[in-house]
């Protein structure tokens, strides 16, 4: 097995500094740009800023885009279905955090 | 090698129609998709399901698979027949899932029928890799090095997918939150051309902590207090991530009261808060002295907690 005494790798917290262009996000999701544009059109992804007509996304958008694309591909649901699933998953997340705060393991 | 009964995996009859196969896949995929499922073995089940569907949805592969019959009897080892694959031409790319299939699948359908794995971008840039780790909360509170073993899919010299173990020693950025990623530049796939190597994205999740419950950047500390500390007020010592502090309990506090310690949560940017959540702990009445104290309270205090119940 590789040596664990090698110097530690260090990196940044991606979400804290990342500003992604449409091209960055498409490349990181390994899809063509039109798939990302569809996610924006459906209201699944928010455009954080528009710099001279060029979209910019936050680091959070990566996780959301990947999740949406996985659901779309694996479950064969359309984008409206993906959007609804994401909203419900977020609601479940909120409820689970509320339960954990009062001591229920979820 | 273990024979895989793809019909059993999908819970369908051997004479199922294409429509029934598709229906069964969609239903089970929703149930076992790792992003939505709460089932313990969801990831393994979903992988088996994807492999079964990959074969059964394709008439050529399904016909070839059906020739094997229902497989060896339980306990027997499966070997592909010597004339396996003769007379079948597996065309087209598969589903494009970026996952390794079982040895059973590989022995039957090998490399040529495997779904194309993620296409490298035309710039020749190496692919990014993604992994998820369970981290102790202290790593985020204090920062520090942690060692992880990740399973990394790769391609061996014959072009087959394989899974390798890779041990990484990582400096955890202080203040990282659950769901955030550590980006390790250049630790993904090597470039195919003259591009740059991909990055490794490590998603962080926290293990349960003995003291604190985590909600985003905020921490919740269930804090047991005595009835007299809650009723009369008190200054008590409590643990925080940055060390012990004195916390003032206001007189007349109840169980469930939340006391906020600003900026003493996870040291992110901006830092989270720490909430002490009061829990009234009753002293046991297990000797004469404590029983006498409770009896004195019963006699002295005109207190009916059920006054509003109309009984």
Determine contact: A19 vs chain B, CB below 8 A.
no
Same fold, B6-109 and B214-300: no
In terms of phi and psi (left: phi > 0; alpha: psi -120 to 50; beta: otherwise), the region of B220 is beta
Determine contact: A1 vs chain B, CB below 8 A.
yes
Give, for all 311 residues of chain B, the pLDDT tens digit. Answer: 778 889 999 999 999 999 999 999 999 998 999 888 888 888 889 989 999 998 999 888 898 888 877 666 655 667 666 666 555 655 443 434 445 677 777 777 765 444 434 444 456 778 888 888 999 999 999 999 999 888 776 666 666 666 778 888 999 999 999 989 999 988 888 887 778 888 899 999 999 999 999 999 999 999 999 999 999 999 999 999 989 999 999 999 999 999 999 999 999 989 999 999 999 999 999 999 999 999 999 999 988 899 899 87
Report domain extents, chain B: 6-109, 129-206, 214-300
> What homologous superfamily is domain B214-300 in, according to CATH?
Urease metallochaperone UreE, N-terminal domain (2.60.260.20)
Name the CATH topology of A17-101: Multidrug-efflux Transporter Regulator; Chain: A; Domain 2 (1.10.1660)
State the pTM of this model: 0.74
Rounded alpha-carbon distances, angstroms, from residue A93 to A64, A100, B149, B215, B221: 14, 10, 28, 10, 20
Which chain B residue shows the shortest CA-CA distance from A64?
B179
Task: Point out the residue among B26, B128, B269 whose CB comes nearest to the CB of A75.
Answer: B26
**Residue B33 in 3-state DSSP?**
coil
Are A9 and B184 in contact (CB < 8 Å)? yes
Contacts of B181 in chain A (CB under 8 A): 13-15, 59, 62-63
Partner residues linked to B236 by β-bridges: B247
User: Nearest C-alpha of chain B: how many angstroms from A9?
Assistant: 5
Contact A39, A68 (CB under 8 A): yes
Bond from prior residue into B270 cis (ω within 30 degrees of 0): yes
Are B36 and A71 in contact (CB < 8 Å)? yes
> What homologous superfamily is domain B129-206 in, according to CATH?
Urease metallochaperone UreE, N-terminal domain (2.60.260.20)
User: Nearest C-alpha of chain A: how many angstroms from B220?
Assistant: 7
| CATH number of this structure's domain B6-109, picked from the four choices 1.10.287.110, 1.10.357.10, 3.40.50.1110, 1.10.340.30 | 1.10.287.110
User: Nearest C-alpha of chain B: how many angstroms from A56?
Assistant: 19
Task: Point out the residue among A6, A14, A76 whose CB comes nearest to the CB of B182.
Answer: A14
């Amino acid at each position: 097995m590789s040596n664990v005494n090698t110097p530690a790798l260090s990196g940044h917290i991606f979400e804290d500094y990342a500003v992604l262009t449409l091209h960055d996000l498409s490349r990181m999701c390994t899809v063509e740009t039109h798939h990302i544009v569809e996610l924006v059109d459906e209201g699944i992804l928010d455009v954080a800023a528009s710099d001279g007509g060029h979209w910019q996304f936050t680091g959070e958008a990566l996780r959301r885009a990947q999740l949406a694309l996985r659901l779309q591909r694996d479950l064969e649901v359309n984008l409206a279905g993906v959007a609804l699933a994401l909203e419900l998953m977020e609601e479940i997340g909120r409820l689970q955090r509320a339960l954990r705060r009062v001591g229920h393991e979820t | 090698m273990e024979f895989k009964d793809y019909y059993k995996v999908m819970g369908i009859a051997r004479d199922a129609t294409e429509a029934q196969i598709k229906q069964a896949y969609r239903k089970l995929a929703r149930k076992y998709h790792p992003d939505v499922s709460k089932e313990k073995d969801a990831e393994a089940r979903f992988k088996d399901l994807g492999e079964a569907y990959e074969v059964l949805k394709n008439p050529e592969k399904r016909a070839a698979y059906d020739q094997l019959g229902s497989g060896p009897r339980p306990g027997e080892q499966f070997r592909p027949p010597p004339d396996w694959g003769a007379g079948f031409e597996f065309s087209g790319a598969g589903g494009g899932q970026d996952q390794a299939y079982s040895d059973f699948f590989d022995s039957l359908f090998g490399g040529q029928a495997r779904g194309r794995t993620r296409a490298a971008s035309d710039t020749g840039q190496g692919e990014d890799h993604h992994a998820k780790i369970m981290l102790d909360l202290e790593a985020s509170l204090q920062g520090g090095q942690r060692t992880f073993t990740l399973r990394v899919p790769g391609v061996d010299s014959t072009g087959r997918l394989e899974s390798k173990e890779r041990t990484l020693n990582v400096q955890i950025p202080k203040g990282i939150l659950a769901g955030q990623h550590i980006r390790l530049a250049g630790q993904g796939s090597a470039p195919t051309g003259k591009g740059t190597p991909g990055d490794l994205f490590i998603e962080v999740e926290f293990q349960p902590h003995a003291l604190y419950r985590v909600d985003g950047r905020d921490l919740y500390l269930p804090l047991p207090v005595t009835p007299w500390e809650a009723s009369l007020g008190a200054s008590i010592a409590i643990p925080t991530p940055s060390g012990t502090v004195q916390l003032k309990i206001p007189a007349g506090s109840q169980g469930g009261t939340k006391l906020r310690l600003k900026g003493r949560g996870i040291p992110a940017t901006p830092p989270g808060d720490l909430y002490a959540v009061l829990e009234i702990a009753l002293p046991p009445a297990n000797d004469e002295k404590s029983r006498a104290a409770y009896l004195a309270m019963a006699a002295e205090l005109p207190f009916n907690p059920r006054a509003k119940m109309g009984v």
